[in-house]
Amino acid sequence: MKNMKKVISTLLCAALAAATMTGCGSSQSRLDKIKESGKLVLATSPDFAPLEFENISSGETEYVGCDIELAKYIAEKLGVELEIQAMDFSAVQAAITSGQADIAIAGFAKTPEREESMGLTTPFGMDDEDNGQGLLVPADKASEYTSAEDFSGKTVGAQNGSLQQNLVTSQLPEDVNVEPIGSLNDGVLMLQTGKIDALASDGSNAKLLMENYDDIALCDFMFEWESEGNVAAVKKGEDELLEAVNEIIEEVNEQGLYLEWKAEATELAKSLGIEANE
């Protein structure tokens, strides 16, 4: 009987030890899981040249741009492969908070709302020319919009969850109707067909779009905004991953790599017939 009790006791200890080990495994950090899987999953919205856009010149879709180069560099430094998941901008943040992706790089500006729901990295690209945040309108109506009040009662398009959406809701009159859009190209089409009266956009991207579409223009009114560079995002609480990515981004900033990648991406965009701001 004593031997039987000893056997049972031993089995229970073994089971407890196994459960403990399993528990430890389930509490692996995101960084450990990335290294174990051998891949870093990136969420991005490839409609924002020269940051992230599509190159289909070879007959296959390739995701390119300075943000993509940054993601490749981060993956290389972590010793893993990069897996790119392309999606609408509105889905990028959800991909991080839900754990679908490991990191998001998609022209993210640092905002209080994003800081609450995600872990944000050290800014990068701070030396880029800041073209501000503004609104595209039909070219023949550009002179009609010189102040925030001129948008009263109008319908303004903005990408869902974007900095531009926040600026529209916080700096334009309360009676403005905010229309969510999937991509800036969708927004331009809606602007051209009269479904929206204005389209909120980063100033640099707005200038790019104006070069491609001569029937739209930036109005004189600009949002109050001072750029601090863009950031990448990881799931909230994944401090080990955030620290590792920050170390890599600091290296990128010190060497001026991001601006080099942006210059190269700009030239590539132009060669593909996609005008990009330098």
Whether 68 maps to a domain, the answer reads yes
Whether 9 maps to a domain, the answer reads no
- Say if residues 235 and 92 touch (Cβ distance below 8 Å): no
Residue 19: predicted pLDDT:
45
Residue 64's domain spans which residues? 30-128+228-271
Whether 5 maps to a domain, the answer reads no
Give the distance between the most distant pair of CA atoms in the chain.
96
The structure tokens listed for 50 are 């020269």
Of residues 143, 126, 137, 169, the one with CA closest to residue 259: 126
What pTM was computed for the model? 0.68
What long-range pairs does 53-56 form, CB within 8 A, spacing at least 24?
A: 53/265, 53/269, 53/274, 55/268, 55/272
Q: Are residues 174 and 89 in the same domain?
A: no
Q: Are residues 160 and 71 in the same domain?
A: no
pLDDT by residue, tens only, the chain of 278 residues: 444 444 445 444 544 444 444 444 457 899 999 999 999 999 999 988 889 999 988 889 999 999 999 999 999 999 999 999 999 998 999 999 999 999 999 989 888 889 999 999 999 987 545 678 999 999 999 999 999 999 999 999 999 888 899 999 999 999 999 999 988 889 999 999 999 999 999 887 888 789 889 999 999 999 998 777 899 999 999 999 999 999 999 999 999 899 899 989 988 988 888 755 44
Q: Are residues 251 and 118 in the same domain?
A: yes
Residue 209: predicted pLDDT:
87
Q: How many domains does the structure of the chain reveal? A: 2
Whether 36 maps to a domain, the answer reads yes
Domain of 101, CATH number, reads 3.40.190.10
Q: Are residues 56 and 165 in the same domain?
A: no
Whether 187 maps to a domain, the answer reads yes
Distance separating alpha carbons of residues 125 and 156, to the nearest angstrom: 28
- Say if residues 136 and 216 touch (Cβ distance below 8 Å): yes
Q: Are residues 149 and 117 in the same domain?
A: no
Residue 48: predicted pLDDT:
87
Q: Are residues 143 and 95 in the same domain?
A: no
Whether 4 maps to a domain, the answer reads no
